[in-house]
A and B are shown apart, each in its own frame.
Chain A
């Protein structure tokens, strides 16, 4: 297999589009089902998120008046493409694509693309709810990226290079513990789940940035969210859970760890109420900042 075929396989099959879409929608189902059970409800069957996407794909798209058609259609496509590309380079078990120097930086950029697409979608659709959501998302992004970026940078500093392969093989040590805490702090906000479900606060601003989205573009946004969940969890597993050497055991640890993380985030979402954007911002700059400082300091000292 030459490099092109390997990258194509990684982009389309595993861990890219198809594999991650299935896995991501399954994670979203786990989150919905667990939330429902924790709230005393029954919850949907496992195929519900798949049906939702398929149903949306079959609907006629209505572009809101005053919205730029090009932007309206391009944003969800870019969001899906960026997350799929991010998945292509993440070295999870079974990924045939090889790591290259600086792929961590590329991955960090690709992780931000769907967020930017959301912000732009909020403004493009000309809805006041979308604009409020976009503003909140922008502010929140400046908060959660403090611990998030610090965690990745600390691990890279510790490993001695911005390559995912180096990050995987480097020993985790005390840096890994601090960086993992910082990373975990950022996850609920990155996934827009409680208590940081501020940009998509449905009781306040309805569907947020996606309020005017419908049909296939909305399906693509849902898909990009599913891929984003997988990508973020993959990144956590790659950065902080060391490989044991055996491929089967690695795959098992990968799946179990991912599901555990989804369940943990869901449980936190079920037991907390939404914060205001100011409190969330302060939380990330104070507690996230502390975790970030601790992980960077540990990386520098080591």
Chain B
């Protein structure tokens, strides 16, 4: 009649049932929920492109900003978005999504505001400062900052103008020789 001993032990011991908040320890290397830093995001949509379960999407309806949207309920924790994010705006640090029946707590939406091109006023999202430091190393020259204030088309024009000036000299000189 060992069963009586088993029942008595179960009855007198603390229940093995865990509370909702009583989260089990995660294993080493557990990726967890992704975190998004809107100050580093350029809205390139690389994360959306590589997200197989379509947990990440972008809302581009607004003309003054782009919204990065994430739904943890759809995420498979594969970590591809973290791997492919060129500006390291997406990271994962083993954080678990909240245990709740409220789906809104599993949804994240971050607004990334556009800036206007200093030359043509087209909406742009400049590269984050940290990435510029990675690209150019050391202190950033004023020309880099000037370039970042321009849209892609204006930056290309500025670059070709610079190239032409390098070969043919500044505009003012060239005008003098041709006349």
A41 pairs with B17, CB closer than 8 A = yes
Q: Is B141 an interface residue (CB 8 A)?
A: no
B16 pairs with A40, CB closer than 8 A = yes
**B7 to A, closest residue via Cβ:** A38
Query: Could you say which residues of chain B place their CB within 8 Å of the CB of A43?
Result: 15, 17
Task: Name the residue in A36, A38, A40, A42 with the highest tally of chain B Cβ atoms < 10 Å from its Cβ.
Answer: A40
Q: In the docked arrangement, what's the CA distance between A230 and B10, Å?
A: 28
B16 pairs with A38, CB closer than 8 A = no
Q: In the docked arrangement, what's the CA distance between A163 and B173, Å?
A: 125
Q: Is B3 an interface residue (CB 8 A)?
A: yes
Q: Is the interface of B mostly helix, strand, loop or mixed?
A: helix
Query: Could you say which residues of chain B place their CB within 8 Å of the CB of A270?
Result: 7
**A270 to B, closest residue via Cβ:** B7
**A271 to B, closest residue via Cβ:** B3
**B13 to A, closest residue via Cβ:** A40
**B19 to A, closest residue via Cβ:** A42
Q: Is B11 an interface residue (CB 8 A)?
A: yes
Q: Is the interface of A mostly helix, strand, loop or mixed?
A: helix
Interface residues in B, total, Cβ within 8 A:
10
Q: In the docked arrangement, what's the CA distance between A37 and B13, Å?
A: 9
Q: Is A113 an interface residue (CB 8 A)?
A: no
B3 pairs with A37, CB closer than 8 A = no
**Chain A, range 13-46, C-beta contacts under 8 Å to B:** 36-43
Query: Could you say which residues of chain A place their CB within 8 Å of the CB of B15?
Result: 36-37, 40-43
Q: In the docked arrangement, what's the CA distance between A40 and B10, Å?
A: 4
Query: Could you say which residues of chain A place their CB within 8 Å of the CB of B16?
Result: 40-42
**B9 to A, closest residue via Cβ:** A40
Other-chain residue from B7, B13, B17 in contact with A267 (beta carbon distance below 8 A):
B7
B3 pairs with A39, CB closer than 8 A = no
Query: Could you say which residues of chain B place their CB within 8 Å of the CB of A40?
Result: 9-10, 13, 15-16
B109, chain A: closest CB distance, angstroms: 32
A21, chain B: closest CB distance, angstroms: 28
Query: Could you say which residues of chain A place their CB within 8 Å of the CB of B13?
Result: 40
B21, chain A: closest CB distance, angstroms: 14
Query: Could you say which residues of chain A place their CB within 8 Å of the CB of B10?
Result: 37-40
Other-chain residue from B7, B9, B17 in contact with A271 (beta carbon distance below 8 A):
B7
Q: In the docked arrangement, what's the CA distance between A121 and B7, Å?
A: 36
**B17 to A, closest residue via Cβ:** A42
Q: In the docked arrangement, what's the CA distance between A37 and B16, Å?
A: 10
Interface string of B1-45 (1 = CB under 8 A from A): 001100101110101110000000000000000000000000000
Query: Could you say which residues of chain A place their CB within 8 Å of the CB of B3?
Result: 271
**Chain B, range 51-94, C-beta contacts under 8 Å to A:** none
Q: In the docked arrangement, what's the CA distance between A36 and B3, Å?
A: 15
Q: In the docked arrangement, what's the CA distance between A41 and B7, Å?
A: 11
Q: In the docked arrangement, what's the CA distance between A37 and B7, Å?
A: 8
Query: Could you say which residues of chain B place their CB within 8 Å of the CB of A37?
Result: 10-11, 15
A193, chain B: closest CB distance, angstroms: 15
B144, chain A: closest CB distance, angstroms: 61
A38 pairs with B11, CB closer than 8 A = yes
Q: In the docked arrangement, what's the CA distance between A5 and B11, Å?
A: 46
**Chain A, range 235-276, C-beta contacts under 8 Å to B:** 267, 270-271
Interface string of A154-194 (1 = CB under 8 A from B): 00000000000000000000000000000000000000000
B146, chain A: closest CB distance, angstroms: 64
Q: In the docked arrangement, what's the CA distance between A267 and B10, Å?
A: 12
Interface string of A266-300 (1 = CB under 8 A from B): 01001100000000000000000000000000000
B127, chain A: closest CB distance, angstroms: 53
Query: Could you say which residues of chain B place their CB within 8 Å of the CB of A39?
Result: 10
Q: In the docked arrangement, what's the CA distance between A65 and B15, Å?
A: 43
Query: Could you say which residues of chain B place their CB within 8 Å of the CB of A41?
Result: 15-17
B11 pairs with A271, CB closer than 8 A = no
Q: Give 9 closest A-B pairs by Cβ, nearest first.
A: A42-B17, A40-B10, A42-B15, A271-B3, A38-B7, A41-B17, A40-B16, A37-B11, A38-B10
Between-chain CB contacts (< 8 Å), 10 pairs: A36-B15, A36-B17, A37-B10, A37-B11, A38-B7, A38-B11, A41-B15, A41-B16, A41-B17, A270-B7
B-side residues, CB < 8 A to A, are 3-4, 7, 9-11, 13, 15-17
